[in-house]
Amino acid sequence: MAFWLGLDVGTGGTRVLLIDETGHVRHACTAPHADMRMERPLWAEQDPENWWDASRQAIRGVLSQANVGGKDVRGVGLSGQMHGLVILDDSNQVIRPALIWCDQRSQPQVDWINQTAGKELVLRSIANPVLTGFTLPKLLWVRDNEPRLFEGVRRMLLPKDYIRFQLSGDYASDVSDASGTALFDVAQRRWSFELVDKLGLDRSILPRVCESSEITGAITPEAARETGLEAGTPVVAGAGDQAASAVGNGIVAPGVVSCTLGTSGVVFAHSQQPAYDVAGRVHTFCHAVPDAWHVMGVTQGAGLSLQWFRNQFASGVAYDGLTAEAAQAPAGSQGLYWLPYLMGERTPHLDPNARGALVGITPAHRRTHVIRAILEGVAFSLKDTFSIFDEMKVPVAQIRLGGGGARSLLWRQIQADVYDHEVELVTAEEGAAYGAAILAAVGAGQFASVDEACDAVIHVASRVKPDPAASALMQKNYATFRRLYPALREIH
């Protein structure tokens, strides 16, 4: 039997799975990463070498669990956290820890980009405003603060593409992941050398960019020895985690929208052409589907909010235990509100200095209310993107949930109530790693296109309808939620 392997470099760990010819997930294995380092406020770093250690462990683990030999794997697809900065020297060694997606230290560099290139050139070049979370300002932060290290930079890679380099020796990326660097011409699906040159950067550090199902290389003999894969197995370009997760959820046609709730939260809509928000509150990136794009809103501290609460106030309690507690509180948390801006915020505020807040505490509130308020606050923040989609006339006919947050029945119900819309789960709840495996199957010739693959293997497993009374309350509370950030903005 033939298998295709999908690998996703997440924030907390690397997940690897195998799918068969029908798209069924045969086995999956996750290897944890070391905790991200946050030595100062707004900083967030991880070691790329640790991602490679986890990738080798997870690949070997899934092959062993499935009792599958490397020769039976016909293709490898890659996905991973977006925006992370991996820089290599002329010996292909990592120069410094990666500044990852939620690192917010680079506002001075964002300001310099806008002053040097001008906002008009920036928008014309990359179709998005530059944000602190993107890769380019991180690179410039290294230039400005660690000049000796910057002098040694010979290659710039994104997290999944560092794993590609270890697997196949190729310097390559894909159009969806490259879209989040702030150096990529999204409309033309190529690097924006006009912006690169304007900022005085070296073009040669950038990897070549391919469409997501395009083969970029093959497993090397050395990587085969370290992972158990077969040398010569094709590796496809893959996609950034959000585009790959969208493929894994079948978001390959207008009207079908995904809401992925992991460490961050993302609302993702397919588009047949680049669709822009003039205020820059949502991102316009290339999709993993050729000649398609997507519009995406991001909540920085989605699952991170619940993780923070557990780590600080409920050590050792499983997430299922926390959501079981939250279920004891009524909808609306008796007027308690959570603003999930632990790492600044993107959509809709574009504010790296935004801060989390718990608002409306009274003596009547208990831990159950706090946990439920966190779940509701994250959903309110994600609803901000749906509100922008409505302004942009982006159609929303179906909402498919993904990520760890989708595994909680309570959080699914809360989202249905907050969005005032039925939500769905698909049969394979694997998100980005599953989408990466689908892309591998397309690249290896099992399917003629990404659309054909999704039609064949993705099916809706369950649906949750909004509760009319709870949803009415959530719409009222959402109006209050939207007033809180402006009221607290000047308090840092």
Per-residue burial over 207-239, b if 16 or more Cβ lie within 10 Å, else e, is bebbbbbbbbbbbbeebbebbbbbeebbbbbbb
Amino acid identity for residue 411 in this structure: W
CA dihedral (459, 462, 467, 471) positive or negative: negative
Closest to 281 in 3D by CA, of 298, 263, 303, 256: 298
CA atoms lying within 13 Å on the CB side of residue 370: 17
Determine the Cα–Cα distance for residues 298 and 283; give it in Å rounded to an integer: 8
Determine the Cα–Cα distance for residues 252 and 322; give it in Å rounded to an integer: 34
Say if strands 98-99 and 45-46 run parallel, antiparallel, or are unpaired.
antiparallel
- Give DSSP secondary structure letters for 115-141: HHH-HHHHHHHHSS---TTSHHHHHHH
Tokens of 57: 């462990």
- In this structure, are residues 301 and 357 in contact, taking their beta carbons and an 8 Å threshold? no
Catalytic option among 20, 177, 185, 241: 241
Closest to 101 in 3D by CA, of 62, 159, 170: 159
CB atoms within 10 A of CB 318: 10
- In this structure, are residues 2 and 440 in contact, taking their beta carbons and an 8 Å threshold? no
Say if strands 255-261 and 396-402 run parallel, antiparallel, or are unpaired.
parallel
241 is catalytic: yes
Residue spans of alpha helices (H) in 249-360: 303-313, 319-326
- Would you name the residues annotated as active-site residues? 241
